[in-house]
Structure 1
Amino acid sequence: MKTAFRAKPPRYPGSWDEFPAGDNIKRAVETVCNDYAQRIFGYHFVKVGNLSAQIQLLESPIHHQINHTPDFTSSERVKHEKRGSDPNDGAGNEPNTIRNEPRNENFVIGQAHKLPFSENSVDGLLLANELDFAQDPHEILREVDRVITQDGHVIISGFNPLSLAGVAKYLPVKRDNILHDARFFSSYRIKDWLHLLGFEVIEQRQIMFSTLFFQQRWEGAAKVQHYLSSYLPWCSAVYVILAKKRVVPMTAIRPKRAIKPQFSTMGASARTTSQKQKGHV
């Protein structure tokens, strides 16, 4: 399997606002993720990364949601968006620190490739374009596999390299745009990694048909989006995958042939009868 490790880590986005069409991407991903989240049940749901933490899963039946971000600056930004209040800039910056918040939410500070959770303890995870900006996405998926429960679910969104956005990434346009640093892993590659870890892909949706480098401000954009989603779904700029962890139970191996008993009751009864007949003679 081809390695996905990159010696130089890509720039990591702190918010969806860093993308030209970030608000549109966030709304589209959030709609699909809320639909998927309705199927995930349990006690704990973890949103890994800055972009994932800003996705609000209001339709999820799991009320205890944990926002796992790399620093306190990102967590304060998320709280500011959700509460509509000024962030507390005086917070510290210690790794793997849990801070209780209202609405049964927690903010955990740590790295995505070292999740501070016990094995088989998380029922659902969200990786909103987290792998696109990871230095080694394999490490993150191995951590997801470690902490997820049996029959747990993971939601992964990513940028599609077979799209207009994937082509624009290699063009000399807006070189300061953070999209040029995105990895753009194909959905086939992500699903292959998931299969190797024992996940089953339940569903995949293709969304956002644009270059993502510019805002769509013309009236016919919605019609074009609908046409492409119907006839050319493979060229969407963003995909969202829902996968479920599968654990195969151990079963006893039955022998192919039945073992014949060495003791024969018929032989014993016949021998006893013949001995009695000789005694009467």
Structure 2
Amino acid sequence: MSNSTIIDWPTWTESPAGRYVLDWEQAQLDSVVSNIFGYHALQLGLPRLDALRENRMPCRALVLDAASGASAPYTCPPGSPDSPQPFAPGLGLAGAQAPYAPAGRTTLWCDLLDLPFEAQSVDLLVMPHTLEFTRDPHRLLREAERVLVPEGQLVILGFNSLSLWGARQAFGKMTGRPFVPAAHDLIAFTRIKDWIKLLGFELERGRFGCYRPPLARENWLERFAFMEAAGDRWWAIFGAAYMVTAVKRVRGMRLVGRIKAKKPVLAPGLAPAATHQTPNPRV
């Protein structure tokens, strides 16, 4: 399999290994995003994975970058009927829906390193394998921090370099036959955790999965199905894929409930005037 084929997301997701990983990721996303509420939710890249299908926010959009390896096969020629219209800054999403986008989902083509959204305007941001294709993952994370509202949630999915799949990917890149689609080196979970903490995010949840060996044939993947339970118990951090959920924290901000009215307090040193009482007349 050539290098151009192995990093082609549509081709890879139809392979046994691709279906195996995406099925696990879809199940994890469905359970997580269903409990996140707000108004605006964005998925950056990888349209073959419907990251927001269980989310109930009224405004959900798919954001794609033509320069990304995960989105390039879907590029629409300029001026074609399926080509989306330009989006205004902020969240006034209005454009043509691409034929591969999920039903009821708006599609936006833009530079992921320069998102056309106002600061603190997005409640949920999902990045499925997006960091593995961007030329500047630090800048992309800074953009995510900029557009998320305080207490907004960030969900990151990626391949774990500290796994059997990561080892095969590293060896495959040296021989010109990589195993998973990634334009750059795989990013370890520990590095992701450090990066998001530096940006003020608080790690809420980390989950690993896909413990079967990196095999291309479906019958061999099925033979090693027993490793799912064993891996989750004995070598949890060495799963082939991971999902990270983080919350944007703003220093000095504290959420409060309903403000209670306080009774006025008299100034110190002052006392209420005594009430003059008329003495009872003697009978």
Match of 2:171, SS state, is: coil
Residue 230 of structure 1 and its aligned partner are, at CA, apart by 1.4
Larger radius of gyration: 1
Asked if 1:42 is matched to 2:38, the reply is: yes
Match of 2:95, SS state, is: strand
Alignment deviations for residues 145-187 of structure 1 (CA, whole Å, 9 cap, x no partner): 1100010001001111110011101324671655464421111
Would the aligned equivalents of 2:157 and 2:242 in 1 still touch at CA under 8 Å? yes
Q: d(CA) in 2 for partners of 1:130 and 1:11?
A: 18
**Aligned positions, number:** 234
Alignment deviations for residues 48-94 of structure 1 (CA, whole Å, 9 cap, x no partner): 01x1563243221213211001249959959xxxxxxxxx9643477
2:189 equivalent in structure 1? 187
Aligned AA (2:153) = H
Decide whether aligned partners of structure 1 residues 199 and 216 sit closer, same or farther in structure 2, where only a CA change above 3 A counts.
same
Aligned AA (2:250) = V
Residue 194 of structure 1 and its aligned partner are, at CA, apart by 0.5
**Structure 2: gaps of 5 or more residues:** 89-93, 255-268, 270-283
Q: d(CA) in 1 for partners of 2:72 and 2:183?
A: 23
Q: d(CA) in 1 for partners of 2:253 and 2:63?
A: 34
Residue 133 of structure 1 and its aligned partner are, at CA, apart by 1.6
Asked if 1:63 is matched to 2:54, the reply is: no
Match of 1:99, SS state, is: coil
1:197 equivalent in structure 2? 199
Aligned partner of 2:82 among 67, 79, 91? 91
Asked if 1:225 is matched to 2:228, the reply is: yes
Q: d(CA) in 1 for partners of 2:11 and 2:153?
A: 28
Match of 1:170, SS state, is: helix
Would the aligned equivalents of 1:30 and 1:57 in 2 still touch at CA under 8 Å? no
Percent sequence identity over aligned pairs: 27
Aligned partner of 2:28 among 18, 29, 32? 32
Would the aligned equivalents of 2:153 and 2:247 in 1 still touch at CA under 8 Å? yes
Would the aligned equivalents of 2:12 and 2:181 in 1 still touch at CA under 8 Å? no
Q: d(CA) in 2 for partners of 1:54 and 1:241?
A: 16
Residue 13 of structure 1 and its aligned partner are, at CA, apart by 5.3
Would the aligned equivalents of 1:126 and 1:155 in 2 still touch at CA under 8 Å? yes
Would the aligned equivalents of 2:6 and 2:179 in 1 still touch at CA under 8 Å? no
Asked if 1:241 is matched to 2:244, the reply is: yes
Q: d(CA) in 2 for partners of 1:145 and 1:152?
A: 9
Asked if 1:17 is matched to 2:8, the reply is: no
Residue 189 of structure 1 and its aligned partner are, at CA, apart by 0.6
Q: Root-mean-square deviation (CA), in Å?
A: 3.4
Q: d(CA) in 1 for partners of 2:149 and 2:126?
A: 14
Would the aligned equivalents of 1:26 and 1:55 in 2 still touch at CA under 8 Å? no
Decide whether aligned partners of structure 1 residues 133 and 122 sit closer, same or farther in structure 2, where only a CA change above 3 A counts.
same
Give the alignment of 1:63-212 within 5 angstroms.
63-71=58-66, 74=71, 90-92=81-83, 98-101=94-97, 104-172=104-172, 175=177, 177=179, 179=181, 181-212=183-214
**Structure 1: gaps of 5 or more residues:** 1-9, 79-87, 252-264, 266-281
